[in-house]
Amino acid sequence: MEKYAVEVWENCLKVIKDNINFQSYKTWFLPITAVKLSEKVLTIQVPSQFFYEWLEEHYIGLLKKTIKKELGNEGRLEYSIIVDNSDSEPGPYTIKMPTGDKKATINPAVSMPYDLNKGSSKEIPNPFIIPGLKKLKINSQLIESYSFDNFIEGDCNRLARSAGFAVAGNPGKTAFNPLLLYSQTGLGKTHLSHAIGLQVRNLFPEKTVLYVTTDQFINQFIDAVKSNNHNDFVHFYQMIDVLIIDDIHNLAGKDKTQDVFFHIFNHLNQKSNQIILTSDKPPVEMKGIEPRLLSRFKWGLSADMQLPDFETRIAILNKKLYNDGIQIPTEVVEYLAYNINTNIRELEGAYISLLAQSSLNKKNITVELARQMIDKFVKNNVREISIDYIQKVICEYFKITVASIHSKTRKRNIVQARQLSMYFSKKHTNSSLASIGHQCGNKDHATVLHACRTVNNLVETDKQFRAFVEELDKKIKF
């Protein structure tokens, strides 16, 4: 009987396909499956309550004609609707609603579902239409400069960047769906989400990509409710191939908006369309978000983006300089990278401020000018001295490589540089002796203690060595 139900429904689909445009057919009829046929009542399974309501509102006449064509005047249609009960296993239920018992109602603003390729005389209101174009097109709202080429990879973001690149190459078909990027403010999650969208648009020009902030999404939903276009709003978002929503944590406390996003999320996920979200915290720490949404955020990959280390900050500045065609002394780049360690946005802001100071005051860009600017720019910022930075200063002073400190060599100058690195790391950082030893050639805590005693003894007994240590200390604190 189930096999016969499938055959009847396939015959119905052939008629339906000839009477509506392909995009509408793909969106509203391909996801439907035939469940059973009993006493001229065909039961079909639809993905959601909203799906059922849309079919009954917009395709009642067409459905009625096709069912009666296949099953005769007594033919009827019932819907089996998949319901999601939060984190529990979803199960279908059946509404016994004969096709013909419900009066067909057509929204006068939407006589035909929106066709991304052809458009229509009465399209669904689209908040991203580019004015002046005859052919309707969605403005993806992507920023061209936020590309993968301009995104600097480091240990702080390698997982997120790799996952993003994989998604861009095969959107909706990887295990990273949804892909949730989370970090503190200003660490590149918005840049990376744009980069994914740009790459998808380049590789798959036929796909519809849309970037939208959560605040935009909320405001559009409010406008849709006020103008009685709720269904149009939902339908528009359900047709996006790659949906990027920034700052999803801003949905907290917006119960109705969460509910509509839940249905949009389910629809896109069932169609294997890609969803990319950004947040300032991981799902487990989000407050005010419904559990059923949080559970879906965990379906794919949640990738953390951390504070960039000193080397990554230098690479970011050098990339910025290269793109802008500007040259400034290496020591100035290092000074900026050392002093601005909170986030990338502040780092780039300090760089722009330095250029402005130099241009407006007609001064050369020097460390002294950078110091004056930094004192105003980050006067309330606590500057952190890292073990990596201490090693870099000492190695430059001794004109050796950082790798030599990590080696097992017993050359006198290398041993002295290694001991000084341990000494200053203990003095200027909160790292444990074991951590310092691990980062200074994989030594144990006893070796670090011995190095600190050796340096202290020389400082107390050797006047020349004391001056040498004081000079190094100034460079490190500088």
Provide Rg for the chain, Cα atoms: 31
Q: What is the pLDDT of residue 308?
A: 83
DSSP state string for 148-195:
STTPPP-TTTHHHHHHHHHHHHSTTSSS-SSEEEE-STTSSHHHHHHH
Query: Are the C-beta atoms of residues 289 and 258 closer than 8 Å to each other?
Result: yes
Name the DSSP letter for residue 366: -
The pLDDT profile of the chain, 478 residues, written as one tens digit per residue, is: 555 888 889 988 988 988 887 777 887 888 898 888 888 888 888 877 767 777 877 788 888 888 888 888 888 888 887 654 444 444 444 444 444 443 332 222 222 333 333 333 334 445 554 343 333 457 888 999 899 988 988 888 888 999 999 999 999 988 899 999 998 888 889 999 999 999 999 999 989 999 999 999 999 999 888 888 888 888 889 889 999 999 999 998 888 999 999 999 999 988 899 999 999 888 888 888 988 888 888 888 888 888 888 888 888 888 888 877 888 888 888 888 877 777 787 888 888 888 887 777 777 888 888 887 776 655 444 456 788 888 888 988 888 988 888 888 888 889 999 999 999 998 888 788 888 988 888 888 889 999 999 999 998 898 888 888 988 888 887 6
Domain residue limits, the chain: 2-95, 158-304, 310-377, 387-477
Model pTM score: 0.53
Query: Are the C-beta atoms of residues 187 and 308 closer than 8 Å to each other?
Result: yes
Helix (H) or strand (E) holding 210: strand 209-213
Query: How far is 290 from 251, CA to CA, in rounded Å?
Result: 10
- For the 158-304 domain, the top CATH level (class) is alpha beta
Architecture of the domain made up of 310-377: Orthogonal Bundle (1.10)
H, E, C per residue of 417-433: HHHHHHHHHHHHCCCCH
Q: Is 202 exposed, middle or buried (0-12, 13-18, 19+ CB in 10 A)?
A: exposed
Intra-chain end-to-end CA distance of the chain, in Å: 82
Q: Which CATH number fits domain 2-95: 2.60.40.650, 3.30.70.1400, 3.20.20.70, 3.30.300.180?
A: 3.30.300.180
Q: For residue range 92-137, list pLDDT tens digits in order.
A: 444 444 444 433 322 222 223 333 333 333 344 455 543 433 334 5
Q: For residue range 1-48, list pLDDT tens digits in order.
A: 555 888 889 988 988 988 887 777 887 888 898 888 888 888 888 877
CA 102 to chain centre: 43
Structure tokens at 86: 């939060």
- For the 387-477 domain, the top CATH level (class) is mainly alpha
